[in-house]
Amino acid sequence: MIILNSIQDMQKYILQEKTEGNSVGFVPTMGYLHEGHLSLMERAKNEADIVVVSIFVNPLQFGPNEDFDRYPRDFERDKKLAEEAGADVLFYPDTKEMYPDKPVVTVSVNRRTDALCGKSRTGHFDGVATVLTKLFHIVSPDKAFFGLKDAQQVAVVRGLVDDFNFPVEIIGCETKRESDGLAMSSRNVYLSEEERKEAHHLYQSLQKAQSWLSNCDSGETEEKMIKYLEEHTAGTVEYCKVLSYPELLPPVKDDKKLIIALSVRFSKARLIDNVIIDNILEKQGSEEEKCSVI
């Protein structure tokens, strides 16, 4: 595996690979790699000739009161893991390389951001879309791989690629989970021992919500999820939502896919999780089976 720090070297390398007819699979990350990232690299390895992984903690996607400074970083560990997972190139630019100056132009996301994380993380998805615009130009991938734990990010990235006609296929990959169901995340290291023990209830609530949705409407299902999480965790529920996917609007019977998504804030970690399901609202139960929220 080779490590490249400069944009120019990265572009030169890719040009050479493309000239030789090799396809490029790309896994953009902010480092502190876990099994979820490694599974994206394995998938990329199967679907492209060369795999490029980027590690860049992008300041543009963190709000002033968010965890940019304390975001976990461990380059030596990441380097070893990426190499073992079969990455061919690790692109590891510093902030000066990516943003030598305050950007003249940034990308502004107009839809799919009024709900879920976009609602409270003002400017977050503008920062994600801006850095990915740069990274897609630098790496010129044929395919780019993203974890569906960040399903709103995948919805925004698909919009970015469609609207700006990037010649890249976006592949959303299933969320990797710990054995108790907790979605893998670089931020799980922030959980205290007690919080880690109860964190599996996040996924439990998503599974329960799927069965509640067969008799309850989306609002009632959201209320039941909040109640369940408040009873089973010490975290503060930021949102529990049932929405259309990928538009992230209040669901209607014609929607093909729904997302059930949640965010819970623990003492030092804000965790998110979701499931994406076929729309089951039209198959809801009869009057007799109606949902009871209390």
Enumerate the H helices of the chain as residue ranges: 7-19, 35-47, 75-84, 95-98, 116-120, 124-139, 151-163, 193-198, 200-212, 218-232
Query: Per-residue b/e over 267-293, b at no fewer than 16 CB within 10 Å?
Result: eebbbbbbbbbebebeeeeeeeeebee
Task: Using the Cα atoms of residue 201, residue 207, residue 212 and residue 218 in order, give the sign of their dihedral.
Answer: positive
> Is 185 known to sit in a ligand binding site?
yes
Closest separation in Å from C-beta 132 to ligand PAF: 6
Tell whether residue 35 is among the known ligand binding residues.
Answer: yes
Query: How far is the C-alpha of 128 from the C-alpha of 172, rounded, in Å?
Result: 16
Q: 186 among the known binding-site residues?
A: yes
Quick check: is 37 catalytic?
yes
CB of 34 to ligand PAF, least distance (A): 11
Q: Residue 34 CB: number of other CB atoms within 10 A?
A: 17
Q: Is 41 part of any known ligand binding site?
A: no
Q: Which is nearer to ligand PAF, 81 or 216 (CB)?
A: 81
| Strand, helix or coil for residue 240 | strand
* Distance from the Cα of residue 288 to its chain's centroid: 39
DSSP secondary structure code for residue 21 in this structure: T
- How near is the Cβ of 232 to ligand PAF at its closest, in Å? 27
Which residues make up the interface to ligand PAF (CB under 6 A)? 28-30, 58, 61, 128, 131-132, 150, 153
Query: Do the annotations mark residue 147 as ligand-binding?
Result: yes
Per-state percent for the chain, helix, strand, coil, to nearest 5: 45, 20, 40
- Least distance in angstroms from the C-beta of 30 to ligand PAF: 4
Residue placing its CB nearer to ligand PAF in the complex, 61 or 233: 61
Q: Which is nearer to ligand PAF, 29 or 244 (CB)?
A: 29
C-alpha count within 13 angstroms, C-beta hemisphere, residue 268: 13
Nearest to ligand PAF of 128, 225 (CB atom): 128
Q: Which of 37, 137, 201, 232 is labelled catalytic?
A: 37
As annotated, the active-site residues are: 37
> Can you say which residues are annotated as belonging to the binding site?
30-37, 61, 147-150, 153, 184-187
> Can you say which residues are annotated as belonging to the binding site for ATP?
30-37, 147-150, 184-187
> Can you say which residues are annotated as belonging to the binding site for (R)-pantoate?
61, 153
